[in-house]
Copies of this chain bind each other. A is one copy, B any other.
Amino acid sequence: MHFLITYDVETTTTEGQRRLTKVAKCCKNYGQRVQNSVFECLLTEKDLITLRSALSSIINKETDSIRIYRLGNYYKTKIEQIGKETSFDIEGTLII
């Protein structure tokens, strides 16, 4: 299942910058960054549970915000890009 994860982390403190880096690292394990604070991830329900709890443990719930959008399985037709392309086809063949 395809998910979109967007986040806002309050970064006026070094602690906040550290949280921001951790959130991005955490999301990178499950998908690709398509914009500064936007990740597209292919997740099983088990992955979702793991990722959700990891993100919850990282952020400061008073100042930071994470939103998880369930895009479903047929997501490619649901996404439109204008301007600078920043993502590759997460299910496409990887040519090395």
Chain A interface residues (CB < 8 Å from chain B): 4, 6-8, 34-38, 52, 55-56, 59-72, 77-86
Contact = CB atoms under 8 A, between A and B. Distances in A.
- Stoichiometry, copies per complex: 2
A3 to B, nearest CB: 9
A47 to B, nearest CB: 14
Contact of A7 (B35, B66, B67): B35
Nearest to A61: B83
Contact of A38 (B38, B77, B78): B38
Nearest to A66: B82
A36 to B, nearest CB: 5
Contacts of A68: 79-82
